[in-house]
A and B are shown apart, each in its own frame.
Chain A
Amino acid sequence: MKKALLLVMFLLIGLSLTAGPAAAEVTKYKVPVISDFSGAYAELFKAWVPMQKAIFAWWNDTTGKQIGVELELKHYDGRYDSTVVASMWPGILAECQPIIALGAGGPDVAALQQRLPQDKVPVVYGTASYGYGWLPNQWLFQVRPTYLQEFMAAFVWYTEQHPEKKPVKLGIMSAQITAALDIVHGFEKYFKEQLEPKGIGAIVAKEFVDISPVDVSSQMKKIIDAKADVVIGPVTTAMSTAYIRACQLHGVNIPTIASPHHTIFPYARAMKTYDPFEGHLVSAAHVSVTDTTSKTYAFFQDLVKNYGLNENLWNVYTMMALNQSILVVRAVEHAAKKFGPVGLTGEKVYEAILGDPFTTEELMGSLPTLNFTKEAPFSTTNLKVMIETVKDGKYVLATPDWVPIPADIEKW
Chain B
Amino acid sequence: MASLISHIISGAMVGLLYALIAMGFVIIYRSARVFNLAQGEVVVIGAFILWTFAQSLGLPMWLSLALAFLASLVLGLLIERVILRPLVGEELFALVMVTIGLMVFLRGLALVLWGAEVHFIPPVFSMKGVKIGSIVLDRGLLIGGGITILIALFFSWFFNKTRLGLEMTAVAEDHQIALSLGLKVKRSIAVAWAISGVLCTLAAMIFLSGKGMTFLVADIGLAALPVALLAGLESIGGLILAGLLIGISIGLAEHFLDPLFQGGVAAVFPFVIMILILLIKPSGLFGWRTIERI
Measured CB to CB, the residues of A under 8 A from B are 37-38, 40, 42-43, 45-46, 174-176, 206-208, 210-212, 214-215, 217-219, 221-222, 225, 237-238, 241-242, 245, 248-251, 266-267, 269-272
Contacts and interface: CB of A to CB of B under 8 A. Distances in A.
B136 A214 contact: no
Given A215-B141, A272-B120, A37 B111 contact: yes
Contacts of B135: 221
B138 A238 contact: no
28 contacts: A37-B111, A37-B116, A38-B108, A42-B215, A43-B118, A176-B264, A210-B266, A211-B267, A212-B217, A212-B220, A214-B17, A214-B207, A215-B10, A215-B13, A218-B7, A221-B135, A225-B3, A237-B212, A237-B214, A238-B214, A242-B211, A245-B210, A245-B211, A249-B129, A249-B137, A267-B118, A269-B117, A272-B120
Given A237-B212, A267-B212, A206 B259 contact: yes
A251 B259 CA distance: 25
B165 to A, nearest CB: 30
A208 B263 contact: yes
B251 interface: yes
Contacts of B290: none
Given A43-B118, A215-B138, A218-B3, A175 B263 contact: yes
Given A237-B214, A269-B117, A208 B266 contact: yes
B267 A210 contact: yes
Interface in B117-162: 117-120, 127, 129, 134-138, 141
B107 interface: yes
Given A43-B115, A208-B258, A221-B134, 10 more contacts: A37-B116, A43-B118, A176-B267, A206-B259, A217-B6, A217-B129, A225-B3, A237-B214, A245-B211, A269-B118
A176 B263 contact: yes
Contact of A217 (B137, B215, B262): B137
B2 interface: yes
B3 A38 contact: no
Given A42-B111, A270-B117, A221 B212 contact: no
A1 B236 CA distance: 42
Interface in B142-196: none
A265 to B, nearest CB: 10
Contacts of A242: 211
Contact of B262 (A42, A46, A208, A221): A208
Contacts of A241: 211-212
Nearest to B4: A218
A46 B17 CA distance: 32
B interface residue count range (under 10 / 10 to 19 / 20 to 34 / 35 or more): 35 or more
Interface of B: 2-3, 6-7, 10-11, 13-14, 17, 107-108, 111, 115-120, 127, 129, 134-138, 141, 207, 210-212, 214-217, 219-220, 251, 254-255, 258-259, 262-264, 266-267
B216 A212 contact: yes
Contacts of B215: 42
Contact of B107 (A38, A46, A267, A272): A38
Contacts of B217: 212
A40 B135 CA distance: 34
A45 B129 CA distance: 36
Contacts of B107: 38
A221 B3 contact: yes
A214 B141 contact: yes
A5 B267 CA distance: 43
B11 to A, nearest CB: 8
B232 to A, nearest CB: 24
Contacts of A238: 214, 216
A43 B255 CA distance: 34
Given A221-B6, A222-B3, A225-B3, A208 B254 contact: yes
Contact of B214 (A43, A218, A248): A43
Nearest to B247: A214
A384 B2 CA distance: 43
B120 A271 contact: yes
A270 B214 CA distance: 10
Contacts of B14: 214-215
A43 B264 contact: no
Contacts of A212: 216-217, 219-220
A392 to B, nearest CB: 22
Contacts of A249: 129, 136-138
A42 B110 CA distance: 12
B138 to A, nearest CB: 6
A266 B262 CA distance: 28
B125 to A, nearest CB: 12
Contacts of B117: 43, 46, 266, 269-270
The residue in A176, A214, A222 that gathers the most chain B C-beta atoms within 10 A of its C-beta is A214
Contact of A270 (B10, B111, B212, B251): B212
B216 A218 contact: no
B138 A217 contact: yes
A153 B53 CA distance: 43
A45 B117 CA distance: 10
A99 to B, nearest CB: 30
A270 B215 CA distance: 14
Contacts of A42: 111, 116, 215
A40 B216 contact: yes
Nearest to A222: B3
A222 B258 CA distance: 13
Contacts of A218: 3, 6-7, 10-11, 251, 254-255
A248 B129 CA distance: 8
Contacts of B212: 237, 241, 266-267, 270-271
A358 to B, nearest CB: 31
A60 to B, nearest CB: 28
B169 to A, nearest CB: 32
A179 to B, nearest CB: 14
The residue in B6, B10, B116 that gathers the most chain A C-beta atoms within 10 A of its C-beta is B116
A249 B210 CA distance: 12
Given A245-B138, A270-B212, A174 B263 contact: yes
A250 B215 CA distance: 28
Nearest to B259: A206
Contacts of B111: 37-38, 42
The residue in A219, A242, A267, A272 that gathers the most chain B C-beta atoms within 10 A of its C-beta is A219
